Structure 1
């Protein structure tokens, strides 16, 4: 993803750095659907296992939603196989896998699902929206971190949200020492395609409340950026926080 590439000074540098791991590896688990799979496979002189969602590798099932989780499950399965774990055990274990707190976590189910996810990069945000969109109307709460980090991604987050969300509430995430309003303006600059409604509510709790008030049965509310993180990093310091608990508290206020 771009944030990893940025720290290496370009994709080719990143690929070479990752290639060094494959050169020294005794065993490699390779995603064959990746366009660079052959490059990494040739570097590894040890034992190699390849997996693919597109062409089919092994028949496994996981309750975790999203294509990205299927890739993760296949990678985990082949790690197990490489270590001599029986396929029956692998299938049974993956079939009972539970999600990580704050990652595609459905916090409320009725009268509409409210999903909390840690997605704080364009790539992760798009994967979340793709997974839940379907024919549903999406009401999305999002922001972007401050502290001078990854400013490039802010317009991209807005662009992706506009592509998938029907109503967007831009809000505070972790502004640190930056002006929260400016962060929102930079996200908003990427929203060029028309959407039903766009709101800017700096108070994150009020933004979540707005989402739950405007959502209707059949919609899905998606709150991204914090997941299960226990703090909100503001200009005035660290504030105790948990998006999941805020969602539950706001839900009780509105629906009793």
Structure 2
């Protein structure tokens, strides 16, 4: 319980009308969760405006409301007007939970691709060095003994601060967190203090939200321009935007890469479908690593994790142990093996850059054909559709274009955008909108030594068609089809 007057110290810009000597038991931004002694924050959302639900919150006993609009609240109700309710929610939550990010070593990872894998690799290294840590990201939020399925990459600020406070309570001193561009733009990490920030890479994505690549880059850069001088930054210097971010970062920086001169660098690289081996050079030591994750892109992810471990003064033996024993990362180049004589990979790649890297890995490591199944999300960035079509035509022998969360868009309209790129590169393709049947067709097409890549959804367990959220897991669909195929052969 915190006095309202103390909470409001967190806000520089505010206009308060009403008493401040009120005890606040909790903060809510969902009116259905509000109750007596709650502080309700009315957020203007994308689908609904929180100001419309102020009356519902008041009926539930709320007597204190934070809002952007000037709305009469009635006698005995304290109203706090702010210029930005999302930012206010973040700062109030940070104050309510007593600044939890200041009490742990928080590692934030941003970039278009590689955030999830890098976070899992850092977690594996910390665990190998007997340093328990929390993990907040795209697949799930692991906080102590709890695992919460993730709805969004970076939780809303109130939920984030609650999770960080739980880690502090459980005496867990480290946390690794994916920081999305949406979280940066929507003030979800306002008030959060990062010990280390990591930049993986930047390619075209989320332009439905950010409008331009320049805006997207500027938002990503905020994680680094907002770092305290005592914080540390880790930057992929091989990426085209790595130098841009380095020039704007004021705290000490550690770079990593393969091509350019970097503080953390990989040499003597050997790639296979089973994984990658390489020698890593750091300012203090060298180490041979056998990484059980295939692909050059995963070496970059491993280098980012090694750079973080180096800054945390984790011994090389623990780094090696953590990386070499890392478990399967759901939906990230995940192999599905039911004893078939061809390979099936499920991967989350849903940008042209990520798809290109995964397909390039498949192409380099496969003697047979590469058969691709993919689609693009509806009501999302349309500019990447022809680019993904181009990449698929370039690296795959045969592509099946299908649905991938079409949402409210007409599926064939999405497909036509992909076809533009496919035709540019004269790619071989067919269209099967039913994703299950598209996967079945790809598996039936596969011959011994071929590789089938199912891209776009990765770890996801639903398919969004219209307003319906239907159960759908690429991995389970593949397993069922392979098992059915096996039983037919036996008969």
TM-score normalised by L of structure 2: 0.49
How many residues of Structure 1 are paired with residues of Structure 2 in the alignment? 254
Residue 251 (1) aligns with residue 456 (2): no
| Contact 1:159–1:190 under 8 Å retained in 2 | yes
User: Secondary structure of the residue that 1:34 maps to in structure 2?
Assistant: coil
Counterpart of 1:138? 370
2: CA distance, partners of 1:179 / 1:15:
30
Partner residue of 2:349 out of 119, 125, 141? 119
Q: Which has the higher strand share?
A: 2
CA displacement, residues 139-194 of structure 1 (integer Å, 9 cap, x when unaligned): 11111111x21111111111111101111111111111111122222211221233
Q: What is residue 91 of structure 1 aligned with on the other side?
A: 320
Greater Cα offset, 87-96 or 41-50: 41-50
* Bigger mean CA offset, 36-45 vs 105-114: 36-45
1:250 Cα shift? Answer: 0.9
Q: Is the 8 A contact 1:176 1:235 kept in 2?
A: yes
Give the CA deviation at 1:244: 0.4
Gap change, CA 1:194 and 1:245, over 3 Å in 2: same
- Counterparts of 1:248 and 1:110 in 2: how far apart (Å)? 11
User: What is the SS of the residue equivalent to 1:51?
Assistant: strand
Which of structures 1 and 2 has the larger relative contact order (alpha carbons within 8 angstroms, sep 6+)?
1
Q: Residue 65 of structure 1 corresponds to which residue in structure 2?
A: 294
Does 2:235 correspond to 1:3?
no
1:241 matched to which residue of 2? 472
Pair 1:80 & 2:302 matched: no
Secondary structure, aligned partner of 1:50: strand
Q: TM-score, normalised by structure 1?
A: 0.90
Is residue 46 of structure 2 the alignment partner of residue 46 of structure 1?
Answer: no
More helix per residue: 1
Does structure 1 residue 211 correspond to structure 2 residue 211?
A: no
Structure 1 CA distance, aligned partners of 2:388 and 2:294?
22
Deviates more, 1:33-42 or 1:84-93: 33-42
Gaps of 5+ in 2: 1-202, 266-279, 282-286
CA contact (8 A) 1:64 1:98 kept: no
How far apart are 1:4 and its partner, in Å?
A: 5.0
Distance 1:233 1:17 in 2: 28
Q: Which moved more, 1:8-17 or 1:236-245?
A: 8-17
